Every structure is written in structure tokens, then in C-alpha cells.
Amino acid sequence: MSCEVNSLGNNSNNRAKKQADPYSDDQSSVIRELEISLTNVCNLDCQGCGFSVPKQVQPFDSRGVMHHLDSLMLLRGAGVSIKRIVLVGGEAALVAGLDQFISDLRRLNVCQEIELVTNGLYPRGINADVLQGLDRFVVSDYVYDDEFEELWLHYLKLSGFKGESYFRRKDFWDDLMGDRSNDPVVVEQHWKTCFYRSYDVTLERGRIFSCSRIAKKLQDDQGLLLTDHLKADDVRSYLMSVKPKESCYSCPTVGASSNIPVAVQLDSDIDKILVKAKKYLRLQVL
């Protein structure tokens, strides 16, 4: 288990800048991380939510999460694979049939690792069958409660989880939903080292996006539609473009420091939710 404490937002100006590269191999055929949203519903209502909860758009069509599986098959058919698929929400623990989706995803053989990111505040949605299909389990710890983390560690052990577990604490996150009018020269420089290009490639509504902000703002015309005729070169050309996406010219992370405090609630009682979560975990481990 690792507990990461980081006061910086992902794209903070105080973070060392590295060349953006969404691939993990020299041939540009293995995407480093692909983020997949399984629901637009969350049990929290955080100020400045980077996933646009509670107004997040639907991440798939009428097929539901099966739409994601169909999209991944198109990627596999094009010769593209993924080092790590990161399952997020909303809050992924709220997804009915989460264990079955992970099992189906595993059978596709399109990725090396499966990671689930959760706020940990709905533990009854993460059973042993869910954990069995994961390689990494990540709790975004918005409550900064040591007992909460210890209970989760006991629960993971008793559930037979063999993968890696992380608890991430952060003081600020990036403003991804706001809009600015950015200097084009600054945008082009920022594009070269943008954190999100390397670690936030997103799959939603049958499209690949360079970052989740573009997907959450429903700017589907700026994504790459996945079709039966898709080739690995199409994906490479989209992700490795030297020209920023149109959305970058209004992105508030360009030239600005993180300024949104984590987990400030607008319309939910996080303290009561924490009490219920800890009560459930205690019942499972005692």
C-alpha cells in the first residue's frame, strides 16, 4: 500500500514539465493510460468537479458500458493496445454489475492492467469479485481520515486482493471545466508538455479524446471516432498531433496554477457519508 500526499494539481505550474507522450512504447502502438468513465453519477458534489458532476454528460450510448467494450474491440482490431485502463466515474462503485464489466474487460485482452479509482465512500459497491479483476485499486481520499484508510486495507486483505493499492490525498485540483481566452503561442508551448496528454487519454461515446476535459464538455467533434476502418496510424496521428486541440485555447490549466480546494461540497453531506462507509467496512472486517 502507498499513500501519496500531493498539494499540486496535475498540471500545476510548479510541477516539473515533461515532454507529453501518450504512448508507453517506441512504436506508438501501446497507449500509456486510457481513462474510461463508467457512470456520470456520484455520491459527492464537489465544487469545481473536474468530471463535471452532477452535470456530467453520458459517457456512452444506449448500450451503456457495453459501448465501451465495443470501442475497445475496435481499438484492438486496429492493432492498438493499452498498458493501463483506468476505470472512473462519477463514482465507479455505484455501477451495477461492475464485477461483470471488469470480467468482460479482462477477457478482451486489450490491456495489461486494470485500475479502479474510487472515493471509497461506497464500499458495498466494491466486493471481492470486483477486486479479483483489478491490478490496481486507488482511493482518492477526500476525507483525510487515517481510520478510513486502515479499514480499507483490512477489507482489501480479507477480500483476497493481490494487486497494488494506493490512497491519494491532494489539496488542490485543476480547473478543467472553466474557460479562458488563452494566447495561441502559450497554448502551443503548453501542448508540448501537457500532463493530461500523457495520462488522461479518454474513451467516451465511441471516441478517443486527448483529455477528459474535451470529453466532459461534449466536444465530440474534437475526438477521434472509432470505426471498423480504424487503423493504428489514425490513433497515432490524433494523439501525437503537433497542433493543440481547439479546446486547449480555452483550457484554464494553460498558464494558470491549480486553485480549486479538493472535496468542498456544494450539496452533499460528506461527513455522514463517511460515517456510513466506515460502519460498513467495520462490519466486514470485524
Confidence of residue 11 (pLDDT cuts 50, 70, 90): confident
For residue 9, being part of any structural domain is answered with: no
For residue 35, being part of any structural domain is answered with: yes
The vertex-76 CA angle with 75 and 78, nearest 5°, equals 65
Average pLDDT over residues 119-147: 96
For residue 175, being part of any structural domain is answered with: yes
Residue 72 pLDDT greater than 90, yes or no: yes
For residue 10, being part of any structural domain is answered with: no
**Can you state the angle between helices 98-108 and 66-77, rounded to 10 degrees?**
10
What is the 3 state secondary structure string of 132-151? HCCCEEEEECCCCCHHHHHH
**Structural domain of residue 208, as residue ranges?**
26-285
How big is the chain, counted in residues? 286
For residue 238, being part of any structural domain is answered with: yes
Q: How far apart are CA 269 and CA 158, in angstroms?
A: 29
Residue 1 pLDDT greater than 60, yes or no: no
Q: What is the pLDDT of residue 6?
A: 66
Q: What is the pTM of this model?
A: 0.95
* Buried-state track 59-77, b at ≥16 Cβ within 10 A, e below 16: bbeeebbebbbebbebbee
Give the lowest-confidence range in 15-29, 128-142, 180-194: 15-29
- Spatial contact of 48 and 173, defined as CB atoms under 8 Å apart: yes
Mean residue pLDDT of the chain comes to: 94
Instruction: Enumerate residues 6+ apart whose C-beta is below 8 A from 229.
Output: none
Beta-strand ranges (E) seen in 119-257 are 136-140, 164-170, 172-173, 201-204, 207-209, 224-225
Q: What is the pLDDT of residue 61?
A: 94
Average pLDDT over residues 41-64: 93
The 10s digit of each residue's pLDDT in 219-230 is 999 999 999 999
Supply 149's cell numbers: 484508510
The 10s digit of each residue's pLDDT in 181-205 is 999 999 999 999 999 999 999 999 9
- Spatial contact of 122 and 93, defined as CB atoms under 8 Å apart: yes
The 10s digit of each residue's pLDDT in 148-160 is 999 999 999 999 9
Give the total number of structural domains in the chain: 1
For residue 145, being part of any structural domain is answered with: yes
Average pLDDT over residues 60-67: 95
Q: What is the pLDDT of residue 118?
A: 98
Confidence of residue 236 (pLDDT cuts 50, 70, 90): very high
In CATH, what number is assigned to the domain containing residue 57? 3.20.20
Q: DSSP string spanning 230-242?
A: --HHHHHHHHT-S
Report strand pairing: 30-37 vs 201-204. parallel
For residue 262, being part of any structural domain is answered with: yes
